[in-house]
Amino acid sequence: MLFKQLFDHETWTYTYLIADPVSKDAILIDPVNTHIDKYIELLKAHDLQLKYSLETHVHADHITASGLLRQRLGAQTGVSGLCGAESADIQIQDGDVFKFAGDEQLKVIATPGHTRGSISFLWRDRLFTGDSLLIGGCGRTDFQGGDAGAQYDCITQRLFTLPDETLVYPGHDYQQHWVSSIMQERTINPRLAGKTREQFIEIMNNLNLPKPRLIDEAVPANRYCGLDENERQDAVTLRDETLPLRATTKTEDLVAAAKQRITEINVAKSKQLLAQGNIVLIDTREESEYAAGHIDGALLLPRGMLEFKVGNMPELADKAKTILIYCRLGNRSALAAQTLQQLGYTNVLSMAGGFEAWKSNA
């Protein structure tokens, strides 16, 4: 097998290539967008076929190359279903197994804490921990649904229980370490070795780190596999259906599940409520779609920005206020409505059929 650890000097990020020179199957973990040409060259040099481009989480400090790798090489993109990145081909879940190169398996271990959707991958005796467990440290837990208690639990219960000799390959290293082992981290990681859950939480709550430089750009972009607005396809409706999907949760399933949990109203009812007033109207499409035409008075809040922007919008300060969300066809708005409900909004409606239905009802 072929195994390479690649490094991005700008953001201290590690990317991993696992490949089989015989079957030609290749997997990339956490690729960085600025290195796309290098990856393609590397794959070409070994005559490899990129099967999967996978993320350990939605990164806050750099932009992934996954979307570009899908566009240019037809790779399937995968990210945890808990990350709110519906445009990924595969919504990864705990326990999923990616099969490649005949009998090779890459197993998914949910390791929430750095972000809600953080996962680790285990291949043979190698563990790719993303930012959950770092060498002599661990990922911060102060944004993107971070949770220090959850981080302690999954590291101590799920990672430290792997065999001692398991190699630990992190998502970053800021001190030029390359690889560690489970025994090394269990016994000498200063944040974890001999620390109680309470002590760990205390440490994590007092790191006082500055925000990652690229966070406001990277998180929304990574929800769309790193593609910018011009490169993005409509996350829900225009996905490349020609790609074979694994039997994990698909975007369509997520939309269907969201629609079970939220309230949809049709255009006529929407118009009636808007005429009555005292309602916040949100357009959850991309900026360019909004610019090309939108409903009067709608606030722009793209789906990928939702969790980030929501707390800063005075119009959304009152969680009991009626909120009506629309997108192009009513799929993204269903997911956005579900997210707002999860954030504590109690009166959220999604417009069935979206702006297209609105226009044909004019």
Ligand X SMILES: N[C@@H](CCC(=O)N[C@@H](CS)C(=O)NCC(=O)O)C(=O)O
Residues that bind Fe ion (CB under 5 A): 131
Q: Which stretch binds ligand X (CB under 6 A): 131-139, 178-186, 332-340, 343-351?
A: 131-139
Q: Are 53 and 30 in contact (CB under 8 A)?
A: no
The least distance separating Fe ion from the CB of residue 211, rounded to whole angstroms, comes to 12
In the window 197-216, what residues touch ligand X (CB under 6 A)?
Answer: 209, 212-213
Sign of torsion over alpha carbons 42, 4, 161, 171: negative
Residue 116 near which of Fe ion, ligand X, none (CB within 5-8 Å, type-dependent): none
Of 130 and 354, CB closest to Fe ion: 130
- Is 268 a binding residue for ligand X by CB under 6 A? The answer is no
Question: Given candidates 70, 116, 140, 285, which one binds ligand X under the rule CB under 6 A?
Answer: 140
In the window 9-28, what residues touch ligand X (CB under 6 A)?
Answer: 11
Residue 332 near which of Fe ion, ligand X, none (CB within 5-8 Å, type-dependent): none
Name residues whose C-beta falls within 8 Å of residue 331's C-beta, 6 or more positions apart in sequence: 236, 237, 255, 354
The least distance separating ligand X from the CB of residue 140, rounded to whole angstroms, comes to 4
The least distance separating Fe ion from the CB of residue 130, rounded to whole angstroms, comes to 7
Of 210 and 244, CB closest to Fe ion: 210
Alpha carbons within 13 angstroms on the beta-carbon side of residue 242 total 4
Main-chain phi, psi angles of 80, to 5 degrees:
-55, 140
Q: Report helix angle 66-73 to 36-45, nearest 10.
A: 50
Query: What mask, x for binding ligand X by CB under 6 A, covers residues 340 to 359?
Result: --------------------
Residue 172 near which of ligand X, Fe ion, none (CB within 5-8 Å, type-dependent): ligand X
In the window 165-204, what residues touch ligand X (CB under 6 A)?
Answer: 172
The separation between the first and the last C-alpha atoms of the chain, rounded to the nearest angstrom, is 60
Overall residue count recorded for the chain in this entry: 362
Of 11 and 156, CB closest to ligand X: 11
Q: Which stretch binds ligand X (CB under 6 A): 47-55, 137-145, 221-229, 322-330?
A: 137-145
Question: Given candidates 55, 131, 147, 289, which one binds ligand X under the rule CB under 6 A?
Answer: 131
Of 20 and 131, CB closest to ligand X: 131
Main-chain phi, psi angles of 52, to 5 degrees:
-130, 140
The least distance separating ligand X from the CB of residue 215, rounded to whole angstroms, comes to 8
In the window 53-72, what residues touch ligand X (CB under 6 A)?
Answer: 60-61
DSSP category for residue 262:
S
From residue 356, alpha-carbon distances to 55, 175, 187, 323 in Å are 33, 52, 59, 19
Per-residue burial over 149-188, b = 16 or more CB atoms within 10 Å of its CB, e = otherwise: ebbbbbbeeebbebeeebebbbbbbeeeeeebbbebbbee
Of 67 and 353, CB closest to Fe ion: 67
Q: CB atoms < 10 A from the CB of 59, how many?
A: 28
Of 132 and 350, CB closest to ligand X: 132
Q: Note every long-range contact of 287-295, with CB atoms under 8 Å and residues 24 or more positions apart, other chains counting.
A: 287/229, 288/229, 288/230, 289/328, 293/355, 294/355, 295/326, 295/355, 295/358
Of 31 and 139, CB closest to ligand X: 139
Of 35 and 239, CB closest to Fe ion: 35
Which residues are near ligand X by CB under 6 A? 11, 60-61, 131, 137, 139-140, 172, 209, 212-213
